[in-house]
Structure 1
C-alpha cells in the first residue's frame, strides 16, 4: 500500500509514466488530503518573464525571472511560492507548506494579491507558476501504485534553483539505492 504524498514531497516522473504532460517532470506537492493532491511542475520554465505578465512581481522573483509552467490545470492563472529564512515572520497572505529540515527555511504559498513590497521584505526567493497539476482523491494513489512517480523529499534548492533543466537528474542522483540508477536507464529500452 502506498502513502499519500505530503506538501514538500517531490513527485519525480518515472519511466512508467505515460502521460506526455508529465514526461520527465519534477512536481512539488503543494497540498494533499483525502480529496486529492495539488502540485506545481518545477522543471518547465517558459520564455516569458514574470515582469511581462505581473509587472509588480517581476523584480521579486528568483533567477531565472521567468514564468514556470506549473501544470496543465488552469494555465491562465498564477500561483507563487516563496521561501523565508528561519528567523523571519511570514508576510501577509503567506501560507506555510513545509519547513526544509536541512536549513530550517520555510517554503510556502505567496498571495499574489498581497502588496509586493510587503512580501519583498520577508522572502528570500519567489517563483511564479502558470497553472498547476491536480489529482482527484484516489487518482494520485493509483498512479503511485502503478509506479508512475517516485516520491522523495524536496529541498529549497529544488524549488528555487536556477537550473530547472537539470533538476530531475540532480534529484534522482542524490537518492540512495536504485533511484540513482534510474538515470542510466534509456528513455526507450528498445533502443538499447
Structure 2
C-alpha cells in the first residue's frame, strides 16, 4: 500500500488532464507564488496583499502604528534623506502645486494617476516614517485605495539578517524604505526600468512590481537569468484608504505634484 502525506496540493490546468504536484511549503505566500508561476492568466493572483503594518495620522503622537515592527529594522533605517533621487518630473523644476482647497478635492480625485509625486509638509514632521518624505504614487484605485513608494529614504541591504550568498547579485541593486506596509512573508516591492511580466506601468520607463512579482524577479536575478541593474527595491510601501488620503490632503499634510509625467533618476546602488 502506497503511503501518502496530507494535506496535498495538485494543480489541474484547463487544457491538461495530468496534475502538477506542489512540493513546497503549505503557506499562502508559497502557494500563490506556485500558482503565479504555473498559470498564464494567474497574474491576477499577484494582487495579493497582506497588511502587517498600518499607519495612522489620527493618533495623539501623529506617528505610524506598527503591528509587526522589527526594532532591528527600525534601528537600521538611514536617517539621512537623499533629496536628489527625484529630478526632472515632467521636465519642470518648479515647486509642487499647493494642496487643493477642500472644495476642489472632488475634482482632484478624478485626475490623480500613477506617477504623481507627494511631498510631505511640515504637518508631517513628527509622523514617522512620512516626515520629509517624497512619495511616488504607483497605484490609484478610485474610491478604494491609493498606494505609493517613499523615494528618498535609502537603507542598506544589511537590514536583513543572515542573507545567503545567493543574495549577492541582488545586493548590487539600490534599496530604499518604501513605507510601513508589508505583505506577509514578502517584505520587498520594486521598480523596474523596463517592462516585465507582471509589472504595471507607472510612467514611461518606470514599472511597479508588487510583492509576489518582485519575489519572482529576485529568484530570476539569483539564478542569473536577469541583471539587477534595471531594478530598484523597496522595503515596504505606503497605502491609504481613499477617504483617508483626501482627508490628509485637505489638512495640508501633502503637496501634490501637478505633472504626473516625467522620469526618475535611479539612485546609485
What band does the TM-score fall into relative to the shorter chain?
0.5 to 0.7
Which among 158, 167, 185 is matched to residue 55 of structure 1?
167
The C-alpha deviation readout for 1:77-126, integer Å capped at 9, x for no partner, is: 11010112xxxxx3333321222xxxxxx211232214235553xx8631
> Match of 1:36?
145
> Match of 2:252?
147
Instruction: Give the direction of change, closer, same or farther, for the CA distance of 1:38–1:157 in structure 2 (3 Å limit).
Output: same
Q: CA–CA distance in 1 between the matches of 2:203 and 2:264?
A: 14
The yes-or-no answer on 1:14 pairing with 2:121 is yes
Whether contact under 8 Å (1:70, 1:132) holds in the other structure is yes
Instruction: Give the direction of change, closer, same or farther, for the CA distance of 1:80–1:50 in structure 2 (3 Å limit).
Output: farther
Q: CA–CA distance in 1 between the matches of 2:134 and 2:121?
A: 10
- By relative contact order (CA 8 Å, sep 6+), the higher-ranking structure is 1
Which among 170, 178, 181 is matched to residue 73 of structure 1?
181
- Provide the TM-score with structure 2 as the length reference: 0.47
- Provide the TM-score with structure 1 as the length reference: 0.63
Question: Alpha-carbon deviation of 1:154?
Answer: 6.3
Whether contact under 8 Å (2:157, 2:171) holds in the other structure is no
Give 1 or 2 for the bigger CA radius of gyration.
2
The C-alpha deviation readout for 1:129-170, integer Å capped at 9, x for no partner, is: 111111012111111111111111464335x2349xxxxxxx
Question: Alpha-carbon deviation of 1:73?
Answer: 1.3
Aligned length: 145
> Match of 2:263?
156
Q: CA–CA distance in 1 between the matches of 2:189 and 2:181?
A: 12
CA RMSD across the alignment = 2.9
Note the residue ranges of structure 2 that are not aligned, 5 or more in a row: 1-103
Instruction: Give the direction of change, closer, same or farther, for the CA distance of 1:19–1:118 in structure 2 (3 Å limit).
Output: same
Whether contact under 8 Å (2:206, 2:263) holds in the other structure is yes
Instruction: Report runs of 4+ in structure 1 exceeding 4 Å deviation.
Output: 49-54
Which among 133, 136, 152 is matched to residue 25 of structure 1?
133
